[in-house]
């Protein structure tokens, strides 16, 4: 199991995007994220989870439901850990908005592409996997992988109206 710091770094933005897209207020999204990780830390110390990502998003979902029901974000785990209240500046708020917009775009891309196109594009553009290795892993020719990536890029470009922005 990875350290909690590494776990936090890896999941901070996805959790923040989850909340930002659902509540529409950057300050509330940041509070929900902070409380989610505080609750996760309290529980993580006792028994690290078997499926950490699913476990973390279950905490986030339950916190979101509870907060909507109560009309405010609970801070009990942060109090228990004696964490300072969040103080966000304009730059923080802008970053939260960027994270939410990127999550919206990623979801749109995922919904638009076929599974094969998405896997090829993600492996090539995000993971920087060489075409030859990707072809071996996907059990197809390098030409097929290149075509999938090319097709995915063309779809993303047409969807976003970006003729030059992708590789």
Instruction: Decide if pLDDT at 29 tops 80.
Output: yes
Q: Where in the chain is the domain with CATH 1.10.10?
A: 113-167
Report residue 160's pLDDT band, with 50, 70 and 90 as the boundaries: low
CA-to-CA distance for 102 and 107, rounded, in angstroms?
Answer: 9
Question: What pLDDT is stored for residue 143 in this prediction?
Answer: 94
**Residue range 113-167 in CATH 1.10.10:** yes
pTM exceeding 0.75: no
- Give the residue from 58, 64, 47, 45 showing the smallest Cα distance to 11: 58
Instruction: Decide if pLDDT at 164 tops 80.
Output: no
């Amino acid at each position: 199991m990875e350290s909690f710091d590494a776990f936090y770094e890896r999941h901070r933005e996805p959790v923040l995007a989850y909340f930002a897209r659902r509540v529409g207020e950057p300050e509330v999204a940041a509070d929900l994220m902070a409380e989610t990780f505080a609750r996760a830390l309290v529980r993580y110390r006792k028994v690290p989870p078997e499926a950490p990502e699913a476990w973390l998003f279950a905490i986030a979902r339950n916190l979101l439901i509870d907060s909507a029901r109560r009309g405010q974000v609970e801070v009990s785990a942060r109090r228990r850990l004696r964490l300072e209240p969040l103080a966000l500046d304009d730059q923080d708020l802008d970053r939260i908005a960027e994270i939410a917009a990127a999550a919206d775009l990623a979801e749109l891309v995922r919904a638009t592409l076929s599974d094969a196109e998405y896997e090829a594009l993600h492996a090539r553009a995000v993971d920087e996997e060489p075409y030859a290795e990707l072809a071996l892993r996907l059990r197809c020719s390098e030409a097929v992988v290149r075509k999938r990536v090319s097709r995915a890029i063309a779809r993303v470009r047409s969807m976003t109206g970006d003729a030059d922005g992708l590789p």
